[in-house]
Amino acid sequence: MKLFCALCSARAARREFFPCGRDVARWFPGHMAKGLKKMQSSLKLVDCVIEVHDARISFHVAGRPPTETLGLKPHLLVLNKMDLADLTEQQKIIHHLEGRGLKNVIFTNCIKDENIKQIIPKVTELIGYSYRYHRAQNLEYCIMVIGVPNVGKSSLINALRRQHLRIGKAARVGGEPGITRAVMSRIQVCERPLMFLLDTPGVLDPRIQSVETGLKLALCGTVLDHLVGEEAIADYLLYTLNRHKLFGYVQHYGLSNACDDVQHVLKSVAVKLGKTRKVKVLTGTGDVNVIQPNYSMAARNFLQTFRSGLLGPVMLDRDILQGLPTADMDL
């Protein structure tokens, strides 16, 4: 395997930077702006905020609601989808987050309920240390769950209910961003202490400051693919896999070697999957039907394969962790 990686690494003429040229502001859908407002007005009803993030983009504070939105409530950062993240440098990640003032961090996998049991004791402890204002006499705790779309907020609520109440689904879960569209009513997640959660629609900060940030969020499925363009996200995925020397895609799609040209890779993927389409071409003698690889379907398959973890775990913020210059540094 090591030899395979070395060969792939040598053959792939790797890009060191990803040419970003799109305007990301328009990726901010209207329902998120509405959700942000509703969320702000519900803050006074809660004792603690649980912010859920994708562990593969641990440092993407750019996707966070602005700090002024969160107020002074105790705050727990849950880095979910740990099964998809490369956490070999977990301690370094925690240390880096501490440096940014994020001291309470738990990594979770909501599919397998990993580390879910740590959440309620941690939240109870944080509330115990905080001033509850008008809620001081209230024996029940109310927690708000926030985060960018599709990071697993609803899955977390369901996992907490499974663990503490032994009952199943209360919040709708989906593979696409934007499943939760309204700030929902309270959902009980624990009996002792009596604790309720408010699920919120994914809230993406409209102030995404770099296109690369937007691309990482899109790669993790927090933006509807068609808004960014599946082929553009696939290109960023290819760039990332090659830079991180994750050459699992070469074997997965039976390619002859690693390559940094997305058109070439998508063509091979389309051919391997048998995804072709008829295109009409105008010639001097009339219309001719030509069979072409279906690049969109190939891009979709490439993204799905990555998102389901089949191309290996990844840490998209690796450059930030290693202190390398990146377009996201100023965030």
Ligand X SMILES: Nc1nc2c(ncn2[C@@H]2O[C@H](COP(=O)(O)OP(=O)(O)OP(=O)(O)O)[C@@H](O)[C@H]2O)c(=O)[nH]1
Rounded to a whole number of angstroms, the minimum distance from the CB of residue 152 to ligand X is 3
Rounded to a whole number of angstroms, the minimum distance from the CB of residue 128 to ligand X is 27
Rounded to a whole number of angstroms, the minimum distance from the CB of residue 173 to ligand X is 4
Report CA 47 to chain centroid distance, whole Å: 26
Burial call 58-91: b when 16+ CB within 10 Å, e when fewer? bbbbbbbbeeebbeebbbbbbbbbbbbbbbeebe
- State yes or no: residue 293 binds ligand X (CB under 6 A): no
Of 55 and 241, which has the nearer Cβ to ligand X?
A: 55
Rounded to a whole number of angstroms, the minimum distance from the CB of residue 80 to ligand X is 5
Q: Which two tokens stand for residue 247?
A: 């050459």
Up-side HSE of residue 215: CA atoms within 13 Å toward CB?
23
Beta-bridge mates of residue 78: 52, 106
Mark residues 60-99: x for contact with ligand X by CB under 6 A, - for none: --------------------xx-xx---------------
**Binder of ligand X out of 65, 74, 202, 293 (CB under 6 A):** 202
Of 151 and 219, which has the nearer Cβ to ligand X?
A: 151
Please choose, out of 5-13, 15-23, 94-102, 168-176, the segment that lies near ligand X by the rule CB under 6 A.
168-176
152 appears as a binding residue in the annotation: yes
Of 154 and 294, which has the nearer Cβ to ligand X?
A: 154
Cβ contact 152:83 at 8 Å = no
- State yes or no: residue 177 binds ligand X (CB under 6 A): yes
Mark residues 106-145: x for contact with ligand X by CB under 6 A, - for none: ---xxx----------------------------------
**Binder of ligand X out of 29, 57, 142, 180 (CB under 6 A):** 180
**Binder of ligand X out of 48, 142, 151, 204 (CB under 6 A):** 151
- State yes or no: residue 178 binds ligand X (CB under 6 A): yes
58 appears as a binding residue in the annotation: no
Nearest to 93 by CA among 79, 108, 80: 79
Rounded to a whole number of angstroms, the minimum distance from the CB of residue 298 to ligand X is 22
Up-side HSE of residue 81: CA atoms within 13 Å toward CB?
26
Please classify residue 134 by burial: count the beta carbons closer than 10 Å to its beta carbon, then call 0-12 exposed, 13-18 middle and 19+ buried. Answer: exposed
Angle at which helix 153-164 crosses helix 119-128, to 10 degrees, equals 100
Nearest to 77 by CA among 85, 86, 57: 57
Instruction: Put residue 189 in one of left, alpha, beta given phi > 0 → left and psi -120 to 50 → alpha.
Output: alpha
154 appears as a binding residue in the annotation: yes
Please choose, out of 12-20, 64-72, 117-125, 171-179, the segment that lies near ligand X by the rule CB under 6 A.
171-179
**Binder of ligand X out of 71, 121, 128, 174 (CB under 6 A):** 174
Residues that constitute the known binding site: 80-83, 150-155, 202
Residues interacting with ligand X, by CB under 6 A? 80-81, 83-84, 109-111, 147, 149-155, 173-175, 177-180, 201-202
